[in-house]
Amino acid sequence: MQDKPVTSVVIAGGGTAGWMAAATLSRNFAPDALKITLVESDEIGTVGVGEATIPPILQLNAQLGIDEDELVRRTQGTYKLGIEFIDWGARGSRYFHPFGSYGADLGGIAFHHHWLRTREGVLADYSLNTRAAMAGRFDRPSEDPRNVLSKLSYALHFDATLYAALLRERALAQGVEAIEGKIAEVVLDPLSGHVDCLSLADGRALRGDLYIDCTGFRGLLIEQALKTGYEDWSHWLPMDRALAVPTAPNGPPMPFTRSTAGAAGWRWRIPLRHRVGNGHVYSSAFTDDSAAADALVAGLDAPMLATPRRLSFTTGRRRLAWNKNVVALGLASGFVEPLESTSIHMIQRGVVTLMSLFPAAGFAQAEIDCYNRLIRAETEEVRDFVILHYKQTLRDDTPFWRSVQAMAVPDSLAERMAIFAHSGRVLLGPGELFRDTSWVAVLLGQGMAPRGHDPLADSMPEAELRAALQRMRAVIGRGAEALPAHADFLRQRLSPEPALSILDPERT
């Protein structure tokens, strides 16, 4: 006999994670089929990170029925074509990690092998995203696949607090019940060990079949109640603190995120329309808080709008993202530093994967195991890609950089680096988040010079190949020049712009 369906879900915590879960579940289940309750407390502070995203966010927003122009308007958003990295491979170096692709494959061989064979021009010149970003230009992709502008790929920068508020609005309209209250105790069933109810400080008890833990780093349900355990990755990613501060806008917003490496960490710069998000991620083992704050302030290009906020964290993941009848999302499930803007994406993947394995009330262990295996694999893929930025460096100017350059890395990453160093090949699974362009951008951008390339790339006569590459560069250059300025695109799409409404703050 089939198990009874899950008919009620309790989400502990709001913020981006909680309201993304609420909006997604309520979009897919009718209120009479699934009762969704979200509890959040005004007394509990927020992290509020996640202002930069990657392209899959567009798919989620479309699935939720959110109009992109409305989202950008409501969240003070801008567009993002990739990330500029400064001083990562070596002091004084810079490169761009673009969304989209480099050039076009020829003869079924990945483009970068043809470039490695000839070194015809600069690699960045074959990326429409890179050339548009550096020129401060943006447009949405053309719908005509014959047009080079169809190759554009983009994501968003937005105010995470305003984004959570937009999700909240939609979730409430779709029947989600919001409760303001502080969770005083997580009560477990003595027989099954499952969460039985959440006891609130005012005496109310919230019961559900399934619980979603969005309580941030503390992991109130997944860790404090269920003792799930945490896998510490700080031996690979020693960053454990961050400072965040907004500054006033300084000129038109550029369509990319910037990451600048420092003596013991790195600084981010994320341009929104009403402010610029800035931060410094660093390792307390190699610098102190005062020096880190000084480095942050010294890198600002406009007046601060608030006092810097300090965050502490341990990079890693819960040993189980789904334990018994609790699924952890967002910071409750773990944290990989925001170097490649993956924080919101991992929430999205958790929610989407939960939808694909949504349980019956019996909570089949096979489905729980499958969820945990999938989330673990995706999190480890992101982990490896972030570690790559530290390991593949020529910097040895500070103890921090000498340490990360010399560290042993996971076997999965070491193998990929060795293969690329030998032949320029990027071997990836079909579902991996970061594709060839991303790995090639970072590996080459940070100084790895492959000893060879795919020998199949040698089948095209060199003169013919060089001529084809020159044509590619010219077409991509003309395409970038044809795009409007990013600031002009924003004005055209968002004007006339209503006054920004006062929205509920993000709460976890």
How far is residue 82's CA from residue 97's CA, in Å, rounded to a whole number? 6
On whether the CB atoms of residues 225 and 186 are closer than 8 A, the answer is yes
- What is the DSSP secondary structure assignment for residue 221, as one 8-state letter? I
Please identify which of the residues 80, 151, 324, 391 carries the catalytic annotation.
80
179 vs 176: CA distance, rounded Å? 10
**What's the token pair of residue 104?**
């076009």
Cα angle: 156, vertex 389, 93; to 5 degrees = 90
Cβ atoms within 10 Å of 177's Cβ, excluding its own? 15
Q: Give me the phi and psi of 130, to 5 degrees please.
A: -65, -45
State the burial class of residue 309 (Cβ atoms within 10 Å of its Cβ: 0-12, 13-18, 19+).
middle
- The answer to whether residue 4 is catalytic is no
Give the torsion sign (CA, 68, 165, 23, 50).
Answer: positive
Contact 198, 186 (CB under 8 A): yes
160-173 and 15-28 helices cross at what angle (nearest 10)? 30
Closest CA to 242 of 309, 190, 302: 309
CB 16 within 8 A of CB 163: yes
Tell me which H or E stretch contains 309.
Answer: strand 309-312
If 0-12 CB within 10 Å is exposed, 13-18 middle and 19+ buried, where does residue 4 land?
exposed
As a three-state string, the secondary structure of 319-341 is CCCEECCEEECHHHCEECCHHHC
Active-site amino acid positions: 80
